[in-house]
Structure 1
Amino acid sequence: MEDTSAGNAAEGLAGAVGRAREREAASRRILETISASPGDERPVFDAILESACRLCDAPFAGLYLVGAGRGHARLVASRGARSEWLASTEKKWALDSGASIPRAISGGAIVHIKDLADTDSYRAGDPQRVDAVDMEGMRTFLAVPLMREGEAVGAIGLYRREVAPFAPDQITLVETFAAQAVIALDSVRRFRALEERSREVEEALAHQTATADVLGVISRSTDDLEPVFETIVGTAARLCRATHAVMFMRRNRAYHMAASNNADAAFVRFADEHPHLPGRASVVARVAQERRTIHLEDCLADPEYTVLDYQRIGNYRTVLGVPLLRDGDVIGVITLLRPDVEAFSVREIELVETFASQAVIAVENVRQFRELESRLAREQATREILEVISRSRADERPVFEAILENAKRLCDAPLAFMSIANEERTRVTIPAYTGARPEFAKILDAFDLPIEHSELVAINPLVTGEAVHLPDCSDDILYRERNEHRVFLVEVEGIRTILAVPMISGGVSLGAIVLYRREVNPFSPDQVDLARAFASQAAIAVENARQLRALAARTEEVQALNASLETRVAEQVDEIERMGRLKRFLSPQVADAIVSGGKGDALSSHRALLAILFCDIRGFTAFCETAEPEETIEVLQTYHEEMGRLIAGHGAGVDHRSGDGIMVLFNDPLPCDDPAGDALRLAIAMRARMEELCASWKRLGHRLGFGVGVSLGYATVGMVGSEGRFDYTASGTAVNLASRLCDAAADGEILLSRRAWTAVEDAFEAEAAGELVLKGIHAPVEIFRLLGPRGAPG
């Protein structure tokens, strides 16, 4: 009997040890799964539920998590439930429902029900409780909350299909599993936060790179918008994950496609043929009308979106439109398209708005460049025409031809002609034209019509003295009435837009300049003004010899003025360039003095008597080895700012900086009366300021000091370098001596050379500091330690 009891005890002990090992192994596997799945909690949940079912003798285990707002809990993982019951039961429970899982979560305590069939809710016929017992066969139920910082974030639920309460060690084990589930949740949350941060950093870097790329293209494309627009739409499509990106630019109230990315030929052709007008029908139209970004997550769900042919050909659903705003005016629109209903993020929208701002900059740059080119071209055209006028006193034809060629080129018109009235002002002929096709040229050659009762654009300005501007000849009454000349213009010559300006002299219209375009494209106000200017020049050409001679004199005056202006501009540009070069290594005051004084030769290589000051921070190398890079940069920044302010305030000619070392020159390139004294006064001011800085740094744990070396002697100074990179510097024994004195100076010391001390001994006090054998100098050097200005207290 005793043997049997001992055997049973041994078996029980062995079983307990075995169960403990199984639980340890299960915990180990779960922790390994957590480590192996840093970004996904599901494998961990599956491992926990498998171990819970196996080690707690439960056919079912489920893991529930609290949803956003803590209003409900939902089943996120399960094991062992019958599929019919799992399909029919609720996957989400309100936390105030009184069910077992919500009770465990709301109360933050274990819920252990011996028999679900012996509960009030079952007897009351609660549908969920009845289904759980009768359909799934649940009897004994255990719910253990997942606790994080005193608050339940979920629960693990287990049940048995017989009335068999869970043992205390099993409940403890499930509590361990619950803690591991919380660890897994926190691990995944941190991992995902890190991933999200990494994505944000990568995205920000990509956005910065893209912005820099666009700015680079803008800087290289001073007169061409196409590369800028193509870069913008391509980059926007790539970074914002859009299948298409299209840029529309305003022309004559309508918005025409200017650039596209990844759009097929059919879409490009359709967009070219169907520009947008401000309104509600499309995103481009709304952006133009409302002057703000428009974002349609699903354009087909918007009843006002009616450009369905665009949508069908482009095969898109989500549309983003961003305006190109210049002074509140929408000059263009960038659109991004996605084939699926997928909204653009706030960051993506902000990026496209940045691109839109860059596009406006590019447009403005090109506009200014073209405006400058146009102005120069107009000036050149004016000079050429005036030169032709001055050479062609007896023959007006060369003048007319020169005017028409320039008008055609500068007003972007493929066809131009000039009509002239006879002296009696009864008939009109066309003495000159350019760009006409052979059939139309025959009509122009034979043109000789009466002025009276004519409505032709070649004649009308002579009668009214006013310009005629027809945006579309095919939409004109003469064309609708089938006027012979107008029908020929439209249907044979292909002319659509016409501009005719009168040639007026002394209040009388002598003729007209007529410009044609073969597409509907009205002339801009600037082009109309330019055509008027050419018409005025044409009127000048038919004036009498007196006016021609006066005009020739004026031409010479203008040419002389232009030459003078060019010379002055060249001189100013040269002065600006010289000033820019000088200010890279000279103080602004010195640079201004050299330029204004015309002392550019002071920068050429020469010998000069200099006072040279070298200074650096004591202990800086050791400080750099132990300090953080940010601390090093902050110390250097403060040091150079403060020393730079003192250098500028003491009128130094040149200073060079490398790390913590600074070299300052006095007496070149501008002379000074007391170079050695000026150098020492700067050194004293530097030392005083550095004492304050070192004291503040010491409070931060940085032990730093400051030393100065000053020498006086002749050195070679001038520009040194190669194309694109010049520096103004000095070299020689005096420079080397100042550098070595700086190296030898202890913290707070200002060491002087013999020559420097001799030059200032009447104004300063110093003491002999012995002789030093300095690297790079053969003989021992007698040096002095500066005490201060004579008569100074202490």
Structure 2
Amino acid sequence: MQGQTIEGENVSLRAEVERLREREAASREILGVIGLNRSDERPVLDAITQNAVKLCDATGAGLWLSSAARDVIRLASVAATDKTEFPVGMEAERESISPMGRCMHDARTINVADIRDDPYYLDGDPTHIKMIDEVGIRSRLIVPLVANGIAFGCISLIRKEVRSFSDDEVTLIESFAEQAVIAIENVRQFCEVQTRLEREAASAEILQVLSESRSDDEPVFKAILGNAARLCGARLVTLTLVNEARTHLSYVTHWGTPLTIFQPGVTEWTINSPTAMCEVIREASIVHVADLVDSDLYRAGDETRVRVVDEEGVRAMQAVPLMQGGQAIGAIGLHWSTPKVFSESEAGLIRTFAEQAVIAIENVRQFREVQERLEREIATGQILGAISRSRADTAPIFEEILESAARLCRAPMAWLLLLNSDRSELQLAAYHGPTRRALKIGQSWPLTPDRNMTGLGQALINALTVQDEDLTQVQGYLKGEPDMVQLVDEEGLRTRVSVPLVREGQSIGAIVLSRREVSRFSNEDVRLADTFAAQAVIAIENVRQFRALETLNAELGDRVKAQVGEIERMGRLKRFLPSAVADAVVTTGDESMLSSHRALVATLFCDLRGFTAFCESAEPEETIEVLQTYHQEMSVLIDQHGGGVDQRAGDGIMVIFNDPIPVDDPAGDAIRLALAMRTKMRALCADWKKLGHRLGFGVGISFGYATVGIVGSAGRFDYTASGTSINTAARLCDMAANDEILISPRTWAAVEGTFEAESRGEVEMKGIREPVEVFAVLSE
């Protein structure tokens, strides 16, 4: 008996060991499959369901995954001992009260011994009735797949007999659930990395194309749209752009299977159109339509939406705006043949592509702007060159201007017309481009009332640019006027801009640019034509002035000879008079100012403090160097401040303001010069002090009447001033301490409110009867 017991225990132990070995083998198999399948979780999930059926003696096993919205579950893998009623890929609503719904809602295992006791079966739920009564399922185990505390799927095992799953079996399936979570997470991370690498490669490709296509945005658009289609699985990706006036959205290009109802370069929509692409422009935000059939436009019978769905087979679309300067300038549209829910990751990717498209557009715009600017600068340079070469003839200049205007403004025909002297006729001065009728330079047309009402006539009358966008719609053509009918019907002109040549506010002619199709000249074209018109006016004026100059030169010949003697006389005068006086005489041609006269002047005296003592101790060379530096610096300041006359004697300087050259503020000008002198002398005295020279600087200024004029004899003239005001300035200079500027009462009265000064009281001055109040200037 005891031997039988031991034998039974041995059999049980061997069975347990075998069971454990099978489970370990199953775990190794699953881990091996996980290691081999980094980009696809399906083989791992199949290994889990197959081992679950085998090791748990189950009739079948299914692994279900929840949708992103957590409202639907999908069967991702199934294994069964016989034919299953549940194919991979089937979907069911995730109800929170169903067994699987409760399992995922609560993130807990549910073990049902007999599902006949389940409320769903008792309530007559069709699915549960079929499971039990038709398929024969009786026992069920549901284990959640949990990540970060949230269940996103489950493993479901079934038996066709009432036999509850044991605790060991539950533990095993829970371990399988953990392995499924690892596999799914591995694949998710691997796919994320792959997606990121693919997107980085796409961005690198687009950036490479961007760098190679500075003058053409089409290759960049193709690269962007192609990568968007590939990475998002779209059948068609389109690009649309808003026109300059922001009134229409144009279909520019596409990648993929095109829609037959839309043509790149032809199809356009008004910006207020109800289409999704126009809505993107208006709202400047992404538009998602997961199912076009389930959209308001389709239900309302919108013709375009219905044709896109029913004829072209498009079911889902996403449109992303191209943003620049806070507004949408276009959109990228992605189209799918099946309904599609869009992820934020996909939206972010398309936003990146949209940003790159904007960069491409801006790069090409800037490149073309630079190219156009260079072309226009070259044209301007050529015209200016023609102007400089043709000083006596306008014809070569006009030809250069019209050739440049026609080429840069894309106008096959260009005319330059000039008004005659009485403004009664227009004459053809130059023309460029093929013409269907005979034209001759100098040909003229009278300015009749009818012609004055045309765009050209109005441009001449008002001196303003006038554009006729469609000549078939102007009054002259509609009335059958011969000139307009000939221009339109015979010459084939449709669009015309008339740019007046304006001189001194009045038109003297016009440049007329024409196109043989209805195509409005842009604002930039008009601005460029204005520039050409201005250059034509310059050329006309240059030739006029050149011819007038030739006439004038002939007339001036005799006058020049007569003036040579006078100039020589003035040259001699400058040798014996102060420069300012000589310049005034030469400028006015009037020597009477040199005679003695009475004038209201401001007089400035300045000299160096301690100069006499310095001369006694210094070497002659040092004395000369100090004087030369002093006079040189003071001369610069005197010239800068408009001193009329200055005289020098040793270290003394006298400067007169208001004669012979009148100034507005003689007293103020004298003080401003004194302040500038003081500032400069502070620096000079500091430098001299380093050399051992102790020198200072003082200034005296007076304002009053004095006798001014030339004194001396032939060959030795001097222009000077005398009088009490002059003596006062000299006495004030003598009284001034180092760094001090002393001024007379009348000087202070003339500048009070402009400068700061303080009274030093009344002082006695030699040669002046009454005491004089003295003021020291502080600052301006």
Instruction: Give the structure-1-normalised TM-score.
Output: 0.55
The residue that corresponds to 1:427 in the other structure is 425
Contact 2:52–2:58 under 8 Å retained in 1: yes
Q: Aligned pair count?
A: 533
Instruction: Give the Cα–Cα distance (whole angstroms) in 2 for the partners of residues 209 and 273 of structure 1.
Output: 32
Instruction: Give the Cα–Cα distance (whole angstroms) in 1 for the partners of residues 28 and 246 of structure 2.
Output: 67
The residue that corresponds to 2:645 in the other structure is none
Paired residue secondary structure (1:509): strand
Contact 1:420–1:512 under 8 Å retained in 2: yes
Contact 1:413–1:515 under 8 Å retained in 2: yes
C-alpha deviation, 1:195, in angstroms: 1.0
Q: Which residue type is aligned with residue 177 of structure 2?
A: V
The residue that corresponds to 2:388 in the other structure is 387
Using the aligned pairs only, state the percent identity: 26
Give the direction of change, closer, same or farther, for the CA distance of 1:417–1:285 in structure 2 (3 Å limit).
farther
Paired residue secondary structure (2:450): coil
Contact 2:322–2:358 under 8 Å retained in 1: yes
Instruction: Give the Cα–Cα distance (whole angstroms) in 1 for the partners of residues 146 and 259 of structure 2.
Output: 59
Contact 1:75–1:92 under 8 Å retained in 2: no
Superposed CA deviations along residues 668-702 of structure 1, whole A, max 9, x for unmatched, are xxxxxxxxxxxxxxxxxxxxxxxxxxxxxxxxxxx
Instruction: Give the Cα–Cα distance (whole angstroms) in 2 for the partners of residues 544 and 129 of structure 1.
Output: 103
Contact 1:472–1:496 under 8 Å retained in 2: yes
The residue that corresponds to 1:135 in the other structure is 134
The residue that corresponds to 1:617 in the other structure is none
Which residue, 182, 186, 200 being the options, matches 2:177? 182
The residue that corresponds to 1:32 in the other structure is 29
Paired residue secondary structure (1:523): coil
Residue 303 in 1 paired to residue 297 in 2?
yes
The residue that corresponds to 2:370 in the other structure is 369
C-alpha deviation, 1:401, in angstroms: 2.1
Instruction: Give the Cα–Cα distance (whole angstroms) in 2 for the partners of residues 504 and 371 of structure 1.
Output: 25
Instruction: Give the Cα–Cα distance (whole angstroms) in 2 for the partners of residues 119 and 288 of structure 1.
Output: 55
Paired residue secondary structure (1:185): helix
Contact 1:229–1:258 under 8 Å retained in 2: no
Q: Which residue type is aligned with residue 404 of structure 1?
A: L
Q: For residues 691-710 of structure 1, what are the structure 2 equivalents within 5 Å?
A: none
Superposed CA deviations along residues 122-144 of structure 1, whole A, max 9, x for unmatched, are 788787766555434455x3536
C-alpha deviation, 1:385, in angstroms: 4.1
Q: Which residue type is aligned with residue 135 of structure 1?
A: E
Q: For residues 160-559 of structure 1, what are the structure 2 equivalents within 5 Å?
A: 160-161=160-161, 165=163, 171-210=166-205, 212-217=207-212, 221=214, 243-246=236-239, 248=241, 250-251=243-244, 253=246, 260-262=253-255, 270-283=263-276, 285-294=278-287, 296=289, 301=295, 303=297, 321-328=319-326, 332-340=329-337, 341-342=339-340, 343=342, 345-363=346-364, 365-366=366-367, 368-370=369-371, 372-374=373-375, 376-387=377-388, 389-392=390-393, 396-437=394-435, 439-441=436-438, 448-454=445-451, 455-542=453-540, 546-548=544-546
* Contiguous gaps of at least 5 residues in structure 2: 551-780
Instruction: Give the Cα–Cα distance (whole angstroms) in 2 for the partners of residues 85 and 253 of structure 1.
Output: 56
Give the direction of change, closer, same or farther, for the CA distance of 1:92–1:26 in structure 2 (3 Å limit).
farther
Paired residue secondary structure (2:265): helix
Contact 1:540–1:548 under 8 Å retained in 2: no
Contact 2:418–2:510 under 8 Å retained in 1: yes
Give the direction of change, closer, same or farther, for the CA distance of 1:382–1:35 in structure 2 (3 Å limit).
same
Instruction: Give the Cα–Cα distance (whole angstroms) in 2 for the partners of residues 374 and 499 of structure 1.
Output: 21
Q: Which residue type is aligned with residue 29 of structure 2?
A: E
Contact 1:27–1:177 under 8 Å retained in 2: no
Instruction: Give the Cα–Cα distance (whole angstroms) in 2 for the partners of residues 59 and 400 of structure 1.
Output: 98
Give the direction of change, closer, same or farther, for the CA distance of 1:409–1:335 in structure 2 (3 Å limit).
same
C-alpha deviation, 1:471, in angstroms: 2.0
Q: Which residue type is aligned with residue 356 of structure 1?
A: A
Superposed CA deviations along residues 296-328 of structure 1, whole A, max 9, x for unmatched, are 556674629765699599876655555555434
Instruction: Give the Cα–Cα distance (whole angstroms) in 2 for the partners of residues 119 and 241 of structure 1.
Output: 43
C-alpha deviation, 1:367, in angstroms: 5.2
C-alpha deviation, 1:535, in angstroms: 2.7
Q: Which residue type is aligned with residue 532 of structure 2?
A: F
The residue that corresponds to 2:158 in the other structure is 158
Give the direction of change, closer, same or farther, for the CA distance of 1:408–1:74 in structure 2 (3 Å limit).
closer
C-alpha deviation, 1:386, in angstroms: 1.7
Contact 1:45–1:63 under 8 Å retained in 2: yes
Contact 1:415–1:436 under 8 Å retained in 2: yes
Instruction: Give the Cα–Cα distance (whole angstroms) in 1 for the partners of residues 126 and 59 of structure 2.
Output: 22
C-alpha deviation, 1:75, in angstroms: 6.5
Q: Which residue type is aligned with residue 36 of structure 1?
A: V
Paired residue secondary structure (1:271): coil
C-alpha deviation, 1:390, in angstroms: 0.5
Contact 2:250–2:266 under 8 Å retained in 1: no
Instruction: Give the Cα–Cα distance (whole angstroms) in 2 for the partners of residues 277 and 542 of structure 1.
Output: 47
Paired residue secondary structure (2:461): helix
C-alpha deviation, 1:9, in angstroms: 8.0
Q: Which residue type is aligned with residue 470 of structure 1?
A: D
Instruction: Give the Cα–Cα distance (whole angstroms) in 2 for the partners of residues 268 and 426 of structure 1.
Output: 57
Give the direction of change, closer, same or farther, for the CA distance of 1:16–1:497 in structure 2 (3 Å limit).
same
Contact 1:74–1:93 under 8 Å retained in 2: no
Superposed CA deviations along residues 496-519 of structure 1, whole A, max 9, x for unmatched, are 321002223344433221001233
Superposed CA deviations along residues 238-286 of structure 1, whole A, max 9, x for unmatched, are 5555534435363455668696354789979933234444323445544
Q: Which residue type is aligned with residue 303 of structure 1?
A: L
Q: Which residue type is aligned with residue 528 of structure 2?
A: L
Contact 1:73–1:102 under 8 Å retained in 2: no
Give the direction of change, closer, same or farther, for the CA distance of 1:431–1:54 in structure 2 (3 Å limit).
closer
Give the direction of change, closer, same or farther, for the CA distance of 1:484–1:34 in structure 2 (3 Å limit).
farther
Instruction: Give the Cα–Cα distance (whole angstroms) in 2 for the partners of residues 120 and 70 of structure 1.
Output: 23
Instruction: Give the structure-2-normalised TM-score.
Output: 0.56
RMSD: 5.0
C-alpha deviation, 1:358, in angstroms: 1.4
Q: Which residue type is aligned with residue 351 of structure 2?
A: E
Give the direction of change, closer, same or farther, for the CA distance of 1:91–1:435 in structure 2 (3 Å limit).
closer
Instruction: Give the Cα–Cα distance (whole angstroms) in 1 for the partners of residues 407 and 318 of structure 2.
Output: 39
Contact 1:61–1:159 under 8 Å retained in 2: no
Q: Which residue type is aligned with residue 478 of structure 1?
A: G
C-alpha deviation, 1:365, in angstroms: 2.8
Give the direction of change, closer, same or farther, for the CA distance of 1:109–1:512 in structure 2 (3 Å limit).
closer
The residue that corresponds to 2:775 in the other structure is none
Superposed CA deviations along residues 568-601 of structure 1, whole A, max 9, x for unmatched, are xxxxxxxxxxxxxxxxxxxxxxxxxxxxxxxxxx
C-alpha deviation, 1:188, in angstroms: 1.3
